[in-house]
Amino acid sequence: MTSTFQLKDIFDDSFYNLLCEKYNFNAEYKANISKELSNVFRDFIILILSENNSYSVEERNRLYNEAIYNLQHTSKLLKGMPHPASSMSYKLLKMSETLKKVTSGSKKEKSKANRFIEKNLIRKFILFWDTYNEKKFLSAENKINYNVCECFLDCSNKISLVYPEIEWFKSCEIEFVESIFENI
């Protein structure tokens, strides 16, 4: 028999009511909103929890540093060669730069290393917002509705209370959240 991983109940009714009131979500979809909001964060939380249990930060950084060396070395070998090798060289160099940002001590550098899973989380949140809120993420003039960022931050703060071991949610600040939404 296979057991399934169960997430903790993150968002309670009072939190949903607060979100509906604060951000003008359509109240007639309250049951859907609660389920959908949990689903938006589900994959991200599971991935982060599995990463946290795999390696300590020191072990992960050691492995990343080893990978950085190998990626840079391979990139140098492929540089200047005909297509597709030259484009692979560029991609490997970018991978090593991303890993450097993740392993560096600076919080600002780490925040610049947005991974695909983080961008996917933001995309899911935008879809959720646009489904249940009349004021869309992007206006007709292509201006960002920054209430979306504030709502995401509220959700992140709530998640950090339920899952304090997930550093990503604890370290979310409005500037960081806005930059991710702006770069999506």
Report if residue 177 sits inside a domain.
yes
* Domain carrying residue 115: 13-54+106-182
Q: Specify the length of the chain in residues.
A: 184
Report if residue 72 sits inside a domain.
no
Confidence of residue 166 (pLDDT cuts 50, 70, 90): confident
pLDDT digits over 104-116, tens only?
A: 755 555 555 556 7
- Count up the domains in the chain and report the number: 1
Confidence of residue 25 (pLDDT cuts 50, 70, 90): confident
Report if residue 65 sits inside a domain.
no
Report if residue 2 sits inside a domain.
no
Report if residue 140 sits inside a domain.
yes
Report if residue 101 sits inside a domain.
no
- Taking all residues of the chain, what is their mean pLDDT, rounded to a whole number? 85
Report if residue 152 sits inside a domain.
yes
pLDDT digits over 133-149, tens only?
A: 999 999 888 899 999 99
What's the rounded Cα separation, in Å, for the pair 73 and 37? 43
Can you read off the two tokens belonging to residue 73? 């070395």
pLDDT digits over 43-89, tens only?
A: 889 888 877 666 677 787 888 889 999 999 999 999 988 888 888 99
Is this structure's pTM higher than 0.75? no
What's the rounded Cα separation, in Å, for the pair 44 and 52? 12
Report if residue 148 sits inside a domain.
yes
What's the rounded Cα separation, in Å, for the pair 31 and 29? 6
Quick one: DSSP state of residue 27? G
